Structures are given as structure tokens and as C-alpha cells.
Structure 1
Amino acid sequence: MTNLPSRFVIKLGTSVLTAGTDRLNRPYLVSLARQVADLRAQGVQVLLVSSGAVAAGRERLNDAPDHRSRANVPLKQVYAAVGQSRLMHLYEQLFELYGLQVAQALLTRDDLRDRRRYLNARNTLLLCIERGIVPIINENDAVVTAEIRVGDNDNLSAMVAGLVDADLLLILTDITGLYTADPRNDPSAELISEVEVIDERIWSIAGAAGTHRGTGGMQTKIQAAELATRAGTTVVITSGMQPDVVLRVAHGERLGTRFPAAASHLDSRKRWIIAETARQSRLVVDAGAVQALRYQGRSLLPAGIVAVEGEFDRGQTVRIFDQEGHEIARGLTQYRAADVRTIKGLRSTQIAETLGYEYGPAVVHRDDMVLM
């Protein structure tokens, strides 16, 4: 018999919670509560990352769905403000039928970026599940701005999985899993049952399309899978409309697409570092820097950097590649992208005279780095 996960994060997309309609599907939520109660009775600690607040608010205000509303941020925030309490009220009522207590947690990127707030969030969630409470987590859409939003609940679910050391992350969506092509447009598309390595081929077939009810497409789910597996969590992406899908995945049934954990669980600080990765960022380093980082435990100095790609701010996690295109590390940068472009190739003693200021001799300190 397959061992159950001890800690299980379930991400529910809007298209799943509404069953593809424009209203929350109450029978689906009842079924979900029953499955979670079954797992809790077997000792599994369960956390939900739930979309649906905007849809719940739109339903409560009797507004017809409109594709143009996706770009209307103030209106979406009104929907979220109205809908979040309504959504939680439904969860509370329906989970109580099975003797479960729920708790709401609204997060923003700043809660995960700041080390103290990250630890506070971790401690709160861990205490909830230790007491048998089911946390229901969402981004704080009513107040979040572009600068501090995670962007989608797929990536938020991966960050939560890392935050609490989850064994398994189940991302439920309106499609069976990752296909070789978009099955909605290509009848020859085949389901990929397992992805050992997320490489450029996987990114290229993931696409970017979502639905008007949600914010994420398959690409955000692959981003989430990459983040979670790096932190030691196995990920499954599959359709939420399959009968008893939560129980079946928890018991090891092979549904959808599985992404095995790429490593054992990282320590808390390392999980925090990779959670803040700016995906489009890239520092390319020479062979000497590769040797120093990988085998000598050194910091990344500007002298070893040969190219800077993308934009990032000081304190963000950047990806570090060798000149053959292999990712070797990720780490918190002490300098923003424009500064690194200016000082790349220089000795550390030249930083202050070149920039007019300095934040230390290293672009990425070895204590702020995770080898990949």
C-alpha cells in the first residue's frame, strides 16, 4: 500500500470551484470537504490554496462575466473584497458538516519576501495544522498591487508547499495534465504522465493560456512545479473534476502529470531563497566562477560575471548559469540588474569607485546561495 503524504497542499483553481460555470459549485465543495475529512482521519495534515474569491464576489453582485474585467484591477479587487468572506463562509459551513475547523490566511509576496514575515506565516500555518485546523490560503486580492502580488495561486501554492515542508502538492485544474500539445486544439496531443526534469522542451509545450475565470494557464503550473520540486515536494497536476481525485492522488493513484521531487527537503532559509526567484533573471559566469561556486564554497564576485539578462532588484533571487547554459545556483543579489551590468568583470575593489557606493564585495554571497 502506498504511504500517504504526511503533509498535503491542494490548490483549487477557479475553473474547478465553479465546474466551468460562473457560479461556485456547492456540491463540489461538499465532496472536497468529505475527502479532506477522510484524509484528516488518517492523520494527513491538509492545507488548501483556494482561488474563487473574485468569482464569488461577481456572483454575489450578480454581475455577468466579462472578458474585459480581467484588465479592470479596481473592479476585480471589489469582487475579491465581497467574495473572500463569502467564499470562506461557504468553506466554514461545508467543512463543519464533517467536523472540520478552517482558518483563513491571506498572503502577499511581501509576506514571503521578508524573512521575519515568512517565518511568522510558517509558524501560524504549522500551528494550525498541528491543531487539526485546515488553513485555506489565498492571495490578498482585495488590496494587493502589482509590485507585491505573487501573481497567481499556482505559484502561491508552491510557495506554501515549501513554507510548510509539504510532501505532496496537488494542483487541480480543468485539464487532465500536461500534454504534448494543447488538447483543446490538437486531437493528437498525448498526456505526459511524468516529468523527471523541467527543461526547455517542457516550457515550450506548456503554453500560456488561461481562462477568463482564472489567472493561470499551464505555464504558471509548470513554474509552480519547478519551484516546489526544487524544495523537495512532489507535484501532481490533474483535473479536479475526476471523482474522489484528492483521495486517489493521496493514495498514490497515477492521475494527470507527476513531477517527482528533485531533492530532499531544503532547510527553511534555502526554501525562502528559491521562492523569490525572478524567473527571467540570469547571471552568466565564467569557468573560474563555476569552479569557485560549485567546488570551493565561494561567493559570486563581479569579476566572474560575463553577462546579465533580465531585470531584478537588490534582494531578489537570481539564477546563475555557466556559459554552456547550465543552471548552477540561485541566490540573493546584493545589487540590482543595472548595477551588475556596470560592474561585471571588475574587481571587487572597483565597485565603490564605479557605482559611487557599494553593498559589499560580492554580488551574491555564499550564505545567500543555493547550488542547483
Structure 2
Amino acid sequence: MSQTIVVKIGTSSLTQVKTGHLALSTLATLVETLTHLRQKGKQVVLVSSGAVGVGCDRLGLSERPRTITLKQAVAAVGQGRLMRVYDDLFTCLNQPIAQVLLTRGDLIQRSGYVNAYNTFQQLLKLGVIPIVNENDTVAVDELKFGDNDTLSALVASLVEADWLFLLTDVDQLYSADPRDNPNAQPIDLVTHIEQLQDLQVQTGDSRSGWGTGGMITKIEAARIATSSGVRTVITEGKSPQNLEKILDGATIGTHFAAQARPVNARKHWIANVLIPMGKLYLDPGAVRAIGQQGKSLLAAGITQIEGEFQAQDSVKICDLGGREIARGLVNYNSAELQKIKGYRSEKIPEVLGYAGAETVIHRDNLVIYNDPDR
């Protein structure tokens, strides 16, 4: 079975730092590399930033837009020009491409998630390289991925990729920012994300002024991807030819080891795609019941509620110390939960005045962190 590879390239790699113009030599090398991977039988998806940067260049803007409306307008200008460049370069090598624009709203509905999966699978079967970007022109803050690192991780999970490459403006992850600290130590392999806390890894924002993400967004992307069974690599975007070397076994960049691929795609959707609308705090007994005994969450174990949400919304589930231990889809809205928290299930009809679900979150809609189904 052919390998599926998702490559995300950031604005800092696609553009020249001082001018914001497209770095055409990098783009050309990237296109050649991805086409060669296709010719070798790999299935390839490219998640490309750069629409806003290209739009700024086209409109003569000297800095990235600060308001959402201006950003959306500039992205509309830049997206077409960016795709024109990609199409010209890939056409020179007879490699067909497709544009795929997504918002988180497209994936939040389960039917939309399945439709996106089917579209990607058909494109890959046709030998096409999908080029994915967030649909900045219509996305609203509440339904934004936030950055293309997160988008690429969710796409890698969606297409059941083997590899996710995050191409950025540093060659790998370090214990501190090597541009500021000459004693920063390179990190070659991360077996578990929690390992980075022990190493006291420092993260920062994009330095180029044109990108939106920093190393912290890439680490979060690695968490999402690796929890879906996708090996993830952070490496330098100005050297796209390194992709083939890494696939051939070279130790370049920082590798994040893939965890066991989830057997339950629905639970991955709950844990990583849906946006949590509130928080539930549980007593120690409830934490044990859902975490160690695999039980559903009952109202009796809830001590505190934060946020306003509706039934079937996603919520974070925390222990009394505030540590997130799970996520799930609630059977009650926040107003109802405020009334029934702490009560045993048989008391719920008496408290609410009508019959409700016996569970606040059924175990089938509950994702426990460190759960093999996650």
C-alpha cells in the first residue's frame, strides 16, 4: 500500500523575509520534490500558507493585516495568484493539482468530515496533489483553525497519512531559541509530547512578521497528528529536497514518534476537530470512574461548570486542579447542568421537572486522554 504524505509549508518559507515577495526558488524545489514523490508512488497532500502574504505583496502592503476583514480581503487577492504560481510550476512537470479550501466549520459537522474524507480519497486515487489552505475569505474567528499547522495535522489525520512534514524557518526543534541562545540543544526525537515539558523547551512566535504561527503551534500540531498515528517531522522549509532524504532514513529535523493509530475515528473527531464550548470539573470519584473504569459521566460527579453550551456540544472535562483529562459531547445544555450537577441520575426528573438522559456524557461520546481510542 502506498504511503500518504502531508507537507505543510509556512509563509516564512514561501516568502522572502525582507520584501514579502514569493521565494520562487524554494517553491520550484518544493514542486519538483513533491512531483518526484508522486512519481515514486507516494500519495501527496500540500497544505500551503502564503495567500495573505502574496496578497500583501500584490497590494503593496508593508505589514500583515491586523483586522479580520482586511485579512479576508487580502487573502482573496492572494489565493488566486498563489494557486496560479503553483499551477504553472506543477504543469511544467505534468503533475495535476487541485485547490481545497476548508474552514473548521466544514469538519465540525460529522457529515462534512466524511465528505471531505471522500473527496481527498478520490483526488489521491486520481494521482492529483491537493493543495489545501484555510478559506480565509469566509472563515470567522469561532470556526478558524487558527493556523495552518493545526489545519495540516487535522488533514493528516483525515487522510490517514503516514507522515506529516512541518516546513518552517528553523532546521529543527531546540531546547531554546538558537537565534537568541547559543547554548540551545537540538532535539532529534520526541517519543511523547510530555517529554518536551521535561526538557523545558521554549517556544516563540513567528519571527518573519508574515506568518501567524510559532513553534508552539507546531508542537500542538504534532500532538494532534501523532495521536492519530501520523509520524511528524519539523524541518527547514528552505530545503524541501530534505523530504526525500528523511523518507530514505536520514536523521534530519525533529521527529515526533507516531502513537498507535486510533481505532475510533469518531473519538478523534471529538477530541481534535470539535471546538470545546465549556468545561466540566469532576470530583476524584468521577475522574476514576471515567478514566480507570471506562464508565459514562454522571451528573453526581460534576462539581463546577464553565461556559455556555448546548446539548451535543463538545466540552473539556477537568479534575479539581484544572487539568484537562477528557473531552466529550454533552447530553444537556449548560443551564440544565447547573441545576443537576451533584445530583444522582434518579433525581434529575425531579430537579428539572422533566425526564432527561441518564448520563451527562455517554462513554461512546467520551474521549479520555491516554485512551487508546483517542
- Normalised to the residue count of structure 1, the TM-score between the two structures is 0.88
Cα separation, partners in 2 of 1:339 and 1:189, compared to 1, 3 Å = farther
What is the Cα deviation at residue 344 of structure 1?
3.1
What is the Cα deviation at residue 9 of structure 1?
0.5
Residue 26 (structure 1) aligns with: 24
Identity of aligned residues (%): 45
Tell me the SS of whatever aligns to 1:103: strand
Q: Distance in 2 between matches of 1:361 and 1:255?
A: 52
Residue 159 (structure 1) aligns with: 154
Q: Which moved more, 1:15-24 or 1:79-88?
A: 15-24
Q: Which moved more, 1:187-196 or 1:44-53?
A: 187-196
Tell me the SS of whatever aligns to 1:120: helix
Pick from 266, 269, 274: which aligns with 1:272? 269
Residue 203 (structure 2) aligns with: 207
Residue 125 (structure 2) aligns with: 130
Amino acid of the structure 2 residue aligned with 1:197: H
Residue 234 (structure 2) aligns with: 237
Cα separation, partners in 2 of 1:109 and 1:206, compared to 1, 3 Å = farther
Q: Distance in 2 between matches of 1:210 and 1:48?
A: 20
Contact 1:8/1:166 (<8 A) preserved: yes
Amino acid of the structure 2 residue aligned with 1:113: I
Cα separation, partners in 2 of 1:276 and 1:243, compared to 1, 3 Å = closer
Q: Distance in 2 between matches of 1:356 and 1:23?
A: 64
Equivalence map 1:29-108=2 (5 Å): 29-61=27-59, 63-66=60-63, 69=65, 71-108=66-103
Equivalence map 1:171-186=2 (5 Å): 171-186=166-181
Whether 1:191 aligns to 2:186 is: yes
What is the Cα deviation at residue 203 of structure 1?
10
Contact 1:178/1:237 (<8 A) preserved: yes
What is the Cα deviation at residue 333 of structure 1?
3.0
Cα separation, partners in 2 of 1:349 and 1:185, compared to 1, 3 Å = farther
Cα separation, partners in 2 of 1:267 and 1:42, compared to 1, 3 Å = farther
1:34-83 CA-partner distances (Å, limit 9, x unpaired): 1111111111100011100001111122x23225x2x2222111110011
1:256-306 CA-partner distances (Å, limit 9, x unpaired): 211111222443222212223558965443443344334544211121234
Q: Which runs of 5+ in 1 are unaligned?
A: none
Contact 2:2/2:41 (<8 A) preserved: no
Equivalence map 1:9-20=2 (5 Å): 9-20=6-17
Aligned residues: 366
Q: Distance in 2 between matches of 1:155 and 1:262?
A: 18
Residue 228 (structure 1) aligns with: 225
Cα separation, partners in 2 of 1:253 and 1:357, compared to 1, 3 Å = farther
Superposition CA RMSD, Å: 2.8
What is the Cα deviation at residue 312 of structure 1?
6.3
Cα separation, partners in 2 of 1:310 and 1:94, compared to 1, 3 Å = same
Amino acid of the structure 2 residue aligned with 1:209: D
Q: Distance in 2 between matches of 1:341 and 1:177?
A: 47
Residue 254 (structure 1) aligns with: 251
Q: Which runs of 5+ in 2 are unaligned?
A: none
Cα separation, partners in 2 of 1:355 and 1:77, compared to 1, 3 Å = farther
What is the Cα deviation at residue 19 of structure 1?
4.1
